[in-house]
Amino acid sequence: MTKGKRVAILATDGYEQSELLEPRKRLKEAGFQVDVVSPKAGEIRGWKEKDWGDTVPVDVVLDQANPEDYDALVLPGGVINPDTLRAEPAAVAFVKAFDRAGKPLAAICHGPWLLAESGAAKGRELTSYASIRTDLENAGARWKDAEVVTDGHLITSRKPDDIPAFSEAVIAALR
C-alpha cells in the first residue's frame, strides 16, 4: 500500500544529480509523495559527472520539516552534498530521528557519511562508495561491497549504477 506514504529526500547543492532524480522519479511512479528537503529555500543545484548540473526545487525547508510527517528518508550522494549536510546540526538531527523511529533510511554513494555522523552506522552492515569505506568502519559499521545492503531499516548502495536496485529496495521497504 503506497497511498498517503511520504518520502523525504534530504539534499543540498552538490548532490549527485542521478542519485536524487532517479530515485525520486521511481518513488513517484510507485505512488509515493516525495519531497526534496534542504537547509536552503528555493532551488538546489546538482553535480553531474564533472561539473554542475540541473537544479531542483526545494519542497520543504529543513527547519520546517517534521520527520514524523514522513515514512522514509533518502540520502543521495555526491561528495559536496553529504559533506555539507554532515556539518549541519539540523540535517544530522533529521537523520537521527528516522533512525530512532526505525523508518526506512536509505543512503547511496557518499550519502552514508550522514549515517556515520548521526551514529546510525554503528554496529550495522552497509555499503557506500569505496572511498568512504574507512570512514564508515571507523564509525563502527561493517562494510560490504554489494549493490544493495539492507540491515534492518537501513538501505545502502555504492554508486549511480546501483540506483535501480537501490530504488527497488526503498520501494519494497515502504510496501
Give the active site residues: 110
Place of cell 549511480: 160
Interior angle at CA 129, CA 145 and CA 66, nearest 5: 110
Mind giving me the DSSP string for 82-121?
HHHHTT-HHHHHHHHHHHHHT--EEEETTTTHHHHHHTTT
Question: Greatest CA span in the chain, whole angstroms?
Answer: 39
Taking phi first (over 0 means left), then psi (-120 to 50 degrees means alpha), and beta for anything else, what does residue 14 get? left
